[in-house]
Amino acid sequence: MPVNPLLMDGKTVLVTGASSGIGRETAILLSQLKARVVLVGRDVKRLEETRANMAASNHLVQSIDLIGGDLIPGWLRKITAETGPIAGLVHCAGIHQAIPLRVLTAEKVDDVMRTNVTSAIMLVKAFRQKGCCARPASIVLMSSVAGIVGQSAVSAYSASKAAICGFARSAAMELAQEGIRVNCIAPGYVSTEMTDTLRDKLTPDQFIAIESSHPLGLGMPRDIAYASAFLPAETGRWITGTTLVVDGGFSAH
């Protein structure tokens, strides 16, 4: 009988941002593919809600504010002392801010970069520590089409997501000899709580324009979760240093 290459029996995957949206859906899908999942976020109650919707019951909940970058390596060592080496990291946590340049401040730029870029770099640094990750292993970082296609009023956010793509390419080259693959996913606009917040800040016509710019319509969290599972599974074994665009055709214009 053919073996399903997406199944992740016996593998542990850490998913950040697992309390909502893409992170939550990714964690649920990975559990359905038989992975053991470490759910990471700041809100334990919401992480528990995610765990309640997952297949099996062997998953772990871990609360941390990833902005404290220097604490991440020690934190991950404590987790892997309990779980054993981790086979995959899917980093979905991050923030989206729509701030026109005329009101953008250095402090707001620092907030976006620290949350979206520094946390990703420090997670990857922590993941490759001896004993923390299995070999082979996979890292998936969440970028955005905003890091590929120019849009007004999101300059700092776009810069942070473009930085993630560049970091992933360099990290992929550095870590290939250690058996660790590093890739990005660049989603278009997906129906999540973050998108709902953006909708509230725009006029109806502005949001309709965003929707109509996606030939296949807005995506759903499961659309990105499928990609998030494809890359760490056996299906992604020969893929590293790339950005997988999943955007309903948004960037094809």
Which residues are tagged catalytic?
157
Determine the Cα angle at 89 with ends 88 and 94, to 5°: 165
Helix and strand totals (H; E) in the chain: 9, 7
134-170 b/e with 16+ CB inside 10 Å = b?
beebbbbbbbbbbbbbeeebbbbbbbbbbbbbebbbe
Q: Nearest Cα to 17, choosing from 36, 35, 42, 34?
A: 42
Helices within the chain (DSSP H only): 21-32, 44-52, 72-83, 106-113, 119-127, 155-175, 193-201, 204-212, 221-230
Phi then psi for 224, rounded to 5 degrees? -80, -35
Alpha-carbon gap, residue 180 to 87, rounded angstroms: 9
Q: Nearest Cα to 13, choosing from 41, 52, 40, 53?
A: 40
Alpha-carbon gap, residue 90 to 140, rounded angstroms: 5
Cis peptide before 136 (omega within 30 of 0): yes
